[in-house]
Structure 1
Amino acid sequence: MAVYRSIDELIGGTPTLDVSGLSPNPSVRLFAKLEGHNPTGSVKDRVALAMIDRAEADGTLQPRSTIIEPSSGNTGIALAMIGRRRGYRVKIVLPGNVTDERRQMLDVYGAQIIASPAEQGSNGAVRLALELAEANPDWTMLYQYGNEANPEVHYRTTGPEIAADVPDITHFVAGLGTSGTLLGVGRYLKEHLDGVEVWAVEPPAGEQVEGLRSLDDGYVPPIFENWGGAELLDRKMIVRPRDSIEATRMLADEGVFSGISGGAALAGARKAATRIDAGVIVFVVSDHGWKYLSLGAWTHDLDVAVEHAEQVIYF
């Protein structure tokens, strides 16, 4: 077994699991890319490391700099972990309606939490962080929604990993959050493999689904536009909170302890499987489920779990 020199070396290289038993179409195979195996338990470790590395290389970050970033959890936790190791002060603008586990992990890594109004969701956190960054020019906002390092790291790492693990992939399914995973992986696969389609999963406008964003809610991440998201996507699918919870429980039946966005991605992959005759679908399980235990997503009555999911932002 290899010995690693730093925790940074454990970021990426995540496993892919064949979960074709969950496919509603026997002619369509399903594979889950398990990003919860990153050090802080989510795909955002890749993004946080890439953004910090780039900011250090171009001089944006100096020793003992202060980082401010809007996040509903995963990116903030990853930035807090890496920032603590590298000597940066980290401030995370966090919506009031996130799970307690997210706040606790930010506390573990020493980040300062700046609360934004719960009713404004993640869009409100973005607005407040932008205001604070402008008012405090000595603070550095890496801005995952507009930082080219976000899709680029998925183009350099996640995409090639998927192509190597599942070379016969026909469809890639991922959620619309910051859109970095969707765009980086999608562009890589389309450029290096013939005929791959990229299908996005999003909630209905006005509804919250863990890990997802509806472009119809009024905020389009700059990287979505800069990376040609509208042209890259072959199809968008709607996934509701109930779909996500049900699919999260299906993953648990397979031994995969996934966050709710992983369930949403599986729900999207299952929908895709009913709309094609045959194929191979890879979807992203963005994080582990321990950040959502307080929701009772696995143990409560389904209606109660769905009600909790509709009230809380967790991506």
Structure 2
Amino acid sequence: MVPTIARARVVEAKDLFELIGHTPLIRFRRITAPFAPVEIYAKAEWYNPGGSVKDRPAREIILTAEREGRLRPGKVILDATSGNMGIAYAMLGAARGYPVTLCIPANASPERLRILRAYGAELILTDPLEGTDGAILEARRRYEADPERYFYADQYNNPANWKAHYRTTGPEIWAQTEGRITHFVAGLGTSGTMMGVGRYLKEQNPEIRLIGVQPDGPFHGLEGLKHMETAIRPGIYEPELLDEILTVSTEEAYAMARRLAREEGLFVGISAGAAMAAALQVAARLREGVVVTLFPDAGYKYLSESFWFEADPPGGNR
């Protein structure tokens, strides 16, 4: 008998914009074994063409601005970023023919800075001690000085950010879990992921619990996440939507990122480590349930970080 040959699915797309979304939902077995029968899953957002979840809001922001006439040929896309959103802007801007100017803390990982420069983005490096807040203030200054030149995307205050997740990420999670999800856990940076996914899930089932994740203090190493009490609060952030907020230390996130690589074969970023650490906190107090979190990106943008080469305690960091 002639063996059957599985054919690869051919994806037809007019441009990069159509390749964003529909990412896999991964179930864990080893790290989560102590919490059975609770099921724990994560959205693998590094499958997006720009390598992160930020492709979703960047696409929505650009398309919305084009429809409304605020972004047109000759305009420069301007925003503050910690890295991933900037990469998404740079990628999609290049595909659309828009120049991109980004204000980014000077201590962003070298890998992110090199990727941004490879796409041709103009980088304005800001004081690392001021974090993303310093980058936000610099982006505002530049826009106010020359509003005709720039389309200020303003991801922290632009409702297109959370609407991207309401329209795509939320429905995907609901469909992939067949409506069985009981808890959604996600990091808080711009808060767009949680605000959009959370609104959608609560509409489907008000009993679903929404748990935000933030660093345990204002000085931390969790790129992309904000300590909301001490940072510039995003305009799109509505804390009353959340059922709970958990904190994770930088060390916990680093240790979990290592464990995910070594025990699950998933090479993910630091904020993904934080999300998984929080998801396990949630699972530890449940007898049953379906906990879904989201891994914003893969680990290759953080390879210069020394924590990858540290040893975990015997038996892992539980």
Q: CA deviation at 1:206?
A: 1.6
* In structure 2, C-alpha distance between the alignment counterparts of 1:297 and 1:40, rounded to whole Å: 24
What's 1:107 paired with?
117
Q: CA deviation at 1:301?
A: 4.8
What's 2:316 paired with?
none
Which residue identity is paired with 2:239? Answer: A
The C-alpha deviation readout for 1:181-228, integer Å capped at 9, x for no partner, is 01100110111125100001111232322331111113110001xxxx
Which residue, 172, 177, 195 being the options, matches 1:183?
195
Percentage identity across paired residues of the two chains:
44
What's 1:282 paired with?
292
Which of structures 1 and 2 has the bigger CA Rg? 2
Conserved 8 A contact 1:14-1:34: yes
The C-alpha deviation readout for 1:42-100, integer Å capped at 9, x for no partner, is 00001111100001000001113111110010000100011011111100001011110
What's 2:228 paired with?
215
Which residue, 157, 172, 178 being the options, matches 1:161?
172
Q: CA deviation at 1:275?
A: 2.3
Secondary structure of the residue aligned to 1:223 is coil
What's 1:15 paired with?
24
Conserved 8 A contact 1:80-1:106: yes
Secondary structure of the residue aligned to 1:21 is coil
Q: CA deviation at 1:20?
A: 4.2
* In structure 2, C-alpha distance between the alignment counterparts of 1:82 and 1:64, rounded to whole Å: 15
* In structure 1, C-alpha distance between the alignment counterparts of 2:17 and 2:163, rounded to whole Å: 17
Which residue identity is paired with 1:65? Answer: K
What's 1:249 paired with?
258
Q: CA deviation at 1:296?
A: 3.1
Conserved 8 A contact 1:35-1:43: yes
Conserved 8 A contact 1:71-1:93: yes
Conserved 8 A contact 1:20-1:31: no
What's 1:237 paired with?
246
Conserved 8 A contact 2:54-2:88: yes
- Tell me the number of residue pairs that the alignment of Structure 1 and Structure 2 aligns: 299
Secondary structure of the residue aligned to 2:294 is strand
* In structure 1, C-alpha distance between the alignment counterparts of 2:312 and 2:60, rounded to whole Å: 38
Q: CA deviation at 1:298?
A: 2.2
* In structure 1, C-alpha distance between the alignment counterparts of 2:311 and 2:267, rounded to whole Å: 18
* In structure 2, C-alpha distance between the alignment counterparts of 1:276 and 1:219, rounded to whole Å: 34
* In structure 2, C-alpha distance between the alignment counterparts of 1:243 and 1:189, rounded to whole Å: 28
Which residue identity is paired with 1:247? Answer: M
Q: CA deviation at 1:137?
A: 1.0
Q: CA deviation at 1:302?
A: 6.2
What's 2:11 paired with?
3
* In structure 1, C-alpha distance between the alignment counterparts of 2:260 and 2:112, rounded to whole Å: 22
* In structure 1, C-alpha distance between the alignment counterparts of 2:71 and 2:312, rounded to whole Å: 46
Q: Could you tell me which runs of 5 or more consecutive residues in structure 2 were left unpaired when the two chains were aligned.
A: 1-8, 314-318
Pairing 1:19-38 to 2, within 5 Å after superposition: 19-23=28-32, 24-38=34-48
* In structure 1, C-alpha distance between the alignment counterparts of 2:259 and 2:312, rounded to whole Å: 13
What's 1:192 paired with?
204
Secondary structure of the residue aligned to 1:91 is strand
Q: Sort the Cα spacing of 1:280 and 1:3 in 2 relative to 1 into closer, same or farther, 3 A.
A: closer
Conserved 8 A contact 1:64-1:87: no
What's 1:259 paired with?
269
Given the alignment of the two structures, is residue 51 of structure 1 paired with residue 61 of structure 2, yes or no?
yes
* In structure 2, C-alpha distance between the alignment counterparts of 1:121 and 1:302, rounded to whole Å: 29
Which residue identity is paired with 2:171? Answer: P
The C-alpha deviation readout for 1:90-132, integer Å capped at 9, x for no partner, is 0000101111011101111100001111111111000111011
CA-atom RMSD in angstroms: 1.4
Which is further off, 286-295 or 22-31? 22-31
* In structure 1, C-alpha distance between the alignment counterparts of 2:11 and 2:85, rounded to whole Å: 26
Conserved 8 A contact 1:247-1:264: yes
Q: CA deviation at 1:161?
A: 0.3
Conserved 8 A contact 2:218-2:231: no
Q: CA deviation at 1:255?
A: 1.5
Given the alignment of the two structures, is residue 122 of structure 1 paired with residue 128 of structure 2, yes or no?
no
Which is further off, 231-240 or 187-196? 187-196
Q: CA deviation at 1:3?
A: 3.0
Which residue identity is paired with 1:109? Answer: Y
Which residue identity is paired with 1:259? Answer: G
